[in-house]
Chains A and B, each alone.
Chain A
């Protein structure tokens, strides 16, 4: 219905201030820890200090006699509570090894932090105190921490029931890969270690279970991104009738993928609520979360590019080892697969190969973290592009231009078989170069090199693409994901002219309430303030697939658009009947139907809503009420893209690095709210810079997390981050009628290679062409010392120092 798209847009595209803000600004918002229920008990978990140990026995007697304690349970005590283990919804291959994952470990602890017992007490402090007195007899076992060691013959097994620590091997080959690589004039190969990251949403996780024993019903409140998925999966894990379970996500303080899971603590609180019949609450401490909340990344990538002598690319080949950690959480094995199709970036090629081996280790399970698979792909592609540029002696920008896919505004198939929705990569690049002052910075770089300046300048380019709008359900089926990728929206037009919108997305900072109101206000011509958006409660929004993978707008927002079309279609029937004309004689614009040629004869949507409610004079066969639901299953993914440029100054005396300039030009398709987009880009870049320069979860050889609290894992503050200059280009997506692509993850996907490429570019005169993330001052300094042939003291080589990383493949990036 083109009529909707054509009407005057009052709100869409405007920088409308957020409706969500007032209660977040005055302290009235209710996060999980702000809620309490009369008679509520507190839950605390006992966690294994060993990364791998047999649990010989759990003595709960002392804890049970502590003040206020109402129950202490080991994994064996709760064994009968589970109809199944915690779910892994993405068994990526037919022969994947997916272990049973009991919420409370029974026989063995497989990572430091694995829950082995749980305590219920009257107060938070009593529960914590009692948990400390549970006496667990552990027999420590050998530990596997490093992925390559884990894959060696005879390595200690994380799961005895499998023959080794390989969970799966997933492969996609297109074209004559070996031949193309054999025949190519130039092949560049590098190895990159992508560090393990701790998500650090500032709100820790938490759960409240409220049973209603009389009805056999349960309400589970959780600081989650996925209330709908939780309802289905927890019903299965607990053998609970799904219709008896309601899941509510209250105000949620950020997620970044870490709240996109079905956690042991959620299942256990629900099981204890069922067992004890009383309300229970658990709030994670930050240090506990470092062990028990999923981590991100932790991938070793062998990346290759083949090209002719001018740098025209013919093939890409990527071989990954991806650390699963000790168990497969909700989508652990699928994370690398979200990047599997993007190892050619925005560049044309004839041959493509991607292989990923999922590896079990005795570490916290990994899973989605902002970008999920796509940062890894983008990092490998954009790093190897710079390496190729050096090899063929071309400017990195020029090399990229040479290989860009031509601009296209109709979907086009690419090498992997995917169809990119639309793209104009040169447009974003041009704009970014202009904002950045590329030529001047290159000249300045040369000046400093010529002068032998201590402070070298480096320029990093990242012309990224990502894939979001998860996802066409049939494609998910072909990738062996067990659920669909649709999203639902309902619009309820009240007789008083007000509107309720019910969405299946579950925002936790993204501003859906505002953006959804903008869409509906324009399409139905109702006042922005008259629209209420409800979300995050399975009793209110029964249909939903929740928020992750930058899907909310491009799937949920589009569902809303279609629901609005259905409302308009029904309202047109009623308006035509009341105005005694045929439907074709009505024009629709901004919420008003008017008779062609007689514009004074008209009906607005609120007027029709009232008529639909009184039902006094409805056309034959029309049901009373004006409320419509649409469930949208996207026909394709969306593919945001853009250019990020970074200028870094490196002090060669100290290794200190300083971002002098950061420019981002993103193409997220049509903009609904530029202010929200900019905010998402800022936050995304900040997380990507953190990944590139500051953060790394480091384990020692015993599988003990060394970066075990917020005080020794470097989440950057405002003082460590630069100001970003951002802008956009718009090539509307062809996947959906709104033309939107998604922007939640783009900054995190694009920025790490921009930063690392810039750092390496600065150090090239010293003969350094590889450093792994995070490019901390220690690492840069060590690389400079190594390159100059000086010895490096323990500070630079100690594998356990933050920024070095066990499992890191910190070898110079030689090429084949």
Chain B
């Protein structure tokens, strides 16, 4: 067992983990942050996407020990003061989710995509989200949601 210490959604956590423990299960089972989902065992689906030090990462591909000292953001950390994040709001307003299982990963991946690209057309969004699979929506409303959020997040009036 190894001791790790990391910041998740702004809160400092310490934990004892087996060296083979995956980060996604540390978050889900030790910290109780079950919003990050697991949809595959081949790093394909992206349901487990989180931000590690500001960059999107599939938390099923990282060991918990690799996250020692990291700053992590999960879906639970997006809303502030009870207000939905622009991405959450956009997914809601554009029917960007159906069963919602892919949604946390999809939103975290979109966050990274918007942060790292000043200008995104629909094709860029589609390619940018290539690592996140959704079986319900056909993606069209996800693209729409990301575009709306990108617009809001960049406009000076946004918080």
Contacts and interface: CB of A to CB of B under 8 A. Distances in A.
Interface of A: 17-18, 20-22, 24-31, 33-34, 36, 125, 200-204, 251-254, 256, 285-287, 508-511, 675-676, 678-679, 682-687, 709-711, 715, 717-719, 721, 723-724, 747
Interface of B: 18, 20, 28-29, 33-45, 47, 74-76, 78-79, 84, 88, 91-93, 95, 97-104, 107, 122, 125-127, 129-143
Given A204-B39, A511-B98, A717-B129, A286 B45 contact: yes
A200 B133 CA distance: 10
Contacts of B92: 17-18, 21-22, 25
A508 B130 CA distance: 24
Given A31-B37, A254-B136, A21 B42 contact: no
B43 to A, nearest CB: 8
A28 B35 contact: yes
Given A27-B104, A508-B99, A718-B143, A679 B137 contact: yes
B137 A683 contact: yes
Contact of A717 (B98, B107, B131, B141): B131
Nearest to B40: A286
Given A22-B92, A26-B84, A718-B130, 12 more contacts: A21-B92, A24-B99, A27-B34, A252-B99, A285-B41, A511-B98, A683-B137, A715-B44, A717-B126, A717-B130, A718-B142, A747-B138
A660 B149 CA distance: 27
Contact of B135 (A17, A24, A254, A685): A254
A678 B39 contact: no
B134 A202 contact: yes
A719 B143 CA distance: 11
Contact of A27 (B35, B39, B91): B35
Nearest to A725: B140
Contact of A203 (B28, B74, B84, B99): B99
B98 A203 contact: no
B45 A25 contact: no
Given A254-B136, A287-B41, A718-B129, A24 B34 contact: no
B41 A709 contact: yes
B140 to A, nearest CB: 5
Contact of A678 (B45, B95, B129): B95
Max count, chain A CB within 10 A of own CB: residue among B93, B97, B102, B129: B97
Contacts of B41: 285-287, 709-710
A686 B139 contact: yes
A709 B122 contact: no
B97 to A, nearest CB: 6
B105 to A, nearest CB: 9
A718 to B, nearest CB: 4
A437 to B, nearest CB: 20
A410 B78 CA distance: 52
A-B pairs with lowest CB-CB distance, top 9? A27-B35, A24-B100, A253-B101, A509-B99, A686-B138, A682-B138, A34-B34, A509-B98, A718-B139
Contacts of B129: 717-719
Contacts of A715: 44, 133, 135
Contacts of B143: 718, 723
Contacts of A511: 98
Max count, chain B CB within 10 A of own CB: residue among A204, A717, A721: A717
Contacts of B103: 24-25
Contact of A24 (B20, B74, B97, B126): B97
Contacts of A30: 34
Contacts of B43: 711
A286 B40 CA distance: 5
A18 B91 CA distance: 11
A711 B42 contact: yes
Contacts of B38: 33, 204
A593 to B, nearest CB: 36
B137 A253 contact: no
Contacts of B107: 25
20 contacts: A17-B93, A18-B95, A24-B99, A25-B92, A31-B37, A201-B99, A202-B133, A252-B99, A253-B99, A253-B100, A286-B39, A286-B44, A675-B95, A683-B138, A709-B41, A710-B44, A711-B44, A715-B135, A718-B125, A721-B138
Contacts of B127: 718-719
A678 B140 CA distance: 10
Given A18-B92, A253-B99, A709 B42 contact: yes
A20 to B, nearest CB: 7
A509 B35 contact: no
A55 to B, nearest CB: 26
Contact of B139 (A26, A202, A286, A721): A721
Contacts of A723: 122, 140, 143
Nearest to B35: A27
Contacts of B125: 718
Given A18-B92, A25-B103, A676-B95, A710 B40 contact: yes
A126 to B, nearest CB: 11
A307 B37 CA distance: 54
B83 to A, nearest CB: 11
B100 A256 contact: no
B42 A203 contact: no
Contacts of B142: 718
Contacts of A252: 99
A201 B135 contact: yes
B51 to A, nearest CB: 14
B95 A683 contact: no
Contacts of A125: 18, 20
A733 B28 CA distance: 46
A202 B101 contact: yes
A340 B98 CA distance: 31
B116 to A, nearest CB: 17
B130 A682 contact: no
A31 B28 CA distance: 12
A202 to B, nearest CB: 5
B75 A26 contact: yes
Max count, chain A CB within 10 A of own CB: residue among B35, B93, B104, B122: B35
A701 B54 CA distance: 48
B91 A682 contact: no
Contact of B98 (A29, A286, A510, A711): A510
Contacts of B34: 27, 30-31, 33-34
Max count, chain A CB within 10 A of own CB: residue among B45, B78, B122: B45
